[in-house]
Structure 1
């Protein structure tokens, strides 16, 4: 599929509806692009399709969708490199499609900042459920009925724990005054831990906080997100140790 074909497909899929949520699909399998586009459009989404990572990168940066679904194995630029380069400038929610027998791909994708992954062959119903969940979590606060702006952070649960400051209304996190950029999933896991410092949260509890629609994910998903959280905070504070592991039990947050 040429870039012109992709642009034409995007225009037809979006149909000019300004309020539609836009999903970008990046996969070298044209059958997957077609079937997923049809399924997503039937659910009311607009779609943009790209057949390789190189073609998708510039478009995702210049005109970001609401969420993207990446295949991993693609020509010219695979999904891993695409995510790595995208994460340099964007926290766009990303779901990976990956082969069942490639657990290292799943772990590497989550470590790079993917919000979720789904194994191939995959269920369209599962993918749609994951998309709905992530979009709902990432949705900004809407203005009030009288047109006033959304409530200030102080009215919507600002969390301050020691050097940590979390603003759920604006999806902003700072550590000692330094900004820390988190994906939606990372933010929700950290929020669940920081709400009750010192309390051990099991992996299941953290999965429920990040994936609230009874969507099954396994233990290594949470572990990968925790590793990435620690790495991001240590980039601004080499002594960061507020997220503690209690082997066999789960994780806790220390604000001391």
Structure 2
């Protein structure tokens, strides 16, 4: 059974989602603020976090950063805010998805299911994008009988984007994940490597494409089969 961490200071939201998601076969761990959610994460395994932005003690954005730095699980932010700047902050902190209140529980369920499908790729040594296979163990990209060998950082960047297809990554997040926290270079390094990957896979646009989200970062979208 998948375990969902629900962090929201509104008891009505918690009750509604607990009943709905439990009926859908999930175990729901309720917390009332960000600090309680952090404590729960330390003591119990969690498969996905649903986080309200406006919470006491530790707010949702801070909790989102904490989860992204310490756990490899999907995150959905819940918020009444609709401004683009607020969404930008959420994605910069590492959220995978964003749901604006009020919302239908069914919509949240669809997003949870989609994130679990996306994250299931992360545990595999071989990531499949249509006919293209990214072999993380052997550092190869396979297209039928043909094998493509990429420079190591280009391969790691492609694999990082592909294993979480559809998720937006900020440039600084990609620097940390691919080049490491001690990297002294410029964020433009990411732009250069993205440009090279697009050139290498220019003939694969019907299968996947690396998209720029202006002012935020990059994501890989699966465009076909």
Q: TM-score range by the shorter chain?
A: 0.5 to 0.7
| Cα deviation 1:216-235 (Å, max 9, x = unaligned) | xxxxxx5xx35355443465
The answer as to whether partners of 2:91 and 2:170 remain within 8 angstroms in 1 is: no
Matches of 2:23 and 2:102, distance apart in 1: 21
Report how many aligned residue pairs link the two structures. 179
The equivalent position to 2:2 in structure 1, one of 12, 17, 21, is 21
Residue aligning to 1:227: 171
Could you list the runs of 5+ residues in structure 1 that have no partner in the other structure? 1-19, 143-149, 167-173, 176-181, 193-205, 212-221
Matches of 1:78 and 1:33, distance apart in 2: 16
Residue aligning to 1:157: 134
The answer as to whether partners of 1:64 and 1:92 remain within 8 angstroms in 2 is: no
Residue aligning to 2:166: 210
The residue matched to 1:47 in structure 2 has which SS?
Answer: strand
Matches of 2:59 and 2:26, distance apart in 1: 25
TM-score between both structures, scaled by the size of structure 2: 0.66
State the 1:164 CA deviation: 3.0
Matches within 5 A, 1:19-168: 20-139=1-120, 153=126, 157-158=134-135, 159=141, 161-164=150-153
Indicate how the Cα distance of structure 1 residues 113 and 237 shifts in structure 2: closer, same or farther if over 3 A, else same. Answer: same
Residue aligning to 1:191: 162
State the 1:165 CA deviation: 6.7
The answer as to whether partners of 1:112 and 1:228 remain within 8 angstroms in 2 is: no
Please tell me the root mean square deviation across aligned C-alpha atoms, in Å. Answer: 3.6
Residue aligning to 2:185: 238
State the 1:141 CA deviation: 8.6
Matches of 1:102 and 1:250, distance apart in 2: 22
Matches of 1:231 and 1:154, distance apart in 2: 21
**Which is further off, 226-235 or 72-81?**
226-235
TM-score between both structures, scaled by the size of structure 1: 0.59
Matches of 2:184 and 2:82, distance apart in 1: 36
Matches of 1:191 and 1:157, distance apart in 2: 8
Matches of 1:154 and 1:24, distance apart in 2: 27
Identify, as 1 or 2, the structure richer in strand. 2
Could you list the runs of 5+ residues in structure 2 that have no partner in the other structure? 136-140, 142-148, 199-209, 213-217, 220-225
The residue matched to 2:66 in structure 1 has which SS?
Answer: helix
Matches of 1:227 and 1:153, distance apart in 2: 24
Matches of 1:237 and 1:162, distance apart in 2: 20
